[in-house]
Amino acid sequence: MSDWRWEYLSGAEHTVGGLPDGQRAEVEVIARRLADAAEVKYLSDPPAAEAGRAPVQTFAEGRWMVWFQEYRVRQVVYVLSVQRL
């Protein structure tokens, strides 16, 4: 079980509110995998100089594009926006 978690930065209704339940579930699977990957990627706390940095990243899989941030201090992946291509 990952110590990292994920959440919608602006809330689920804002980020995936118009999607059918099946598509929302697809996004949540991707978000969980992003959090699992971040846990492997960051095995220790960030250096002080990087503690407040969380650049926006993009991940594409299948028909989905996900914009997210990895916030290392809180061990959370924030899902900012999604788009089905």
Quick: pLDDT tens for 12-22.
999 999 999 99
Distance CA 65, CA 85 (A): 7
Pick the CATH number of 5-84 from 1.10.10, 3.30.1370, 3.30.2310, 3.30.1490: 3.30.2310
Quick: pLDDT tens for 26-71.
999 999 999 999 999 888 777 877 777 789 999 999 999 999 999 9
Distance CA 80, CA 9 (A): 6
- Residue appearing with tokens 């579930």: 25
- pTM given for the model: 0.89
Distance CA 62, CA 72 (A): 27
| pLDDT at residue number 70 | 93
Domain boundaries, the chain: 5-84
> 11-47 as b/e, with b when 16 or more CB fall inside 10 Å?
eeeebbeeeeeeebebbeebbeebbeebbeeeeeeee
Rg for the chain, CA atoms, rounded: 13
| pLDDT at residue number 7 | 97
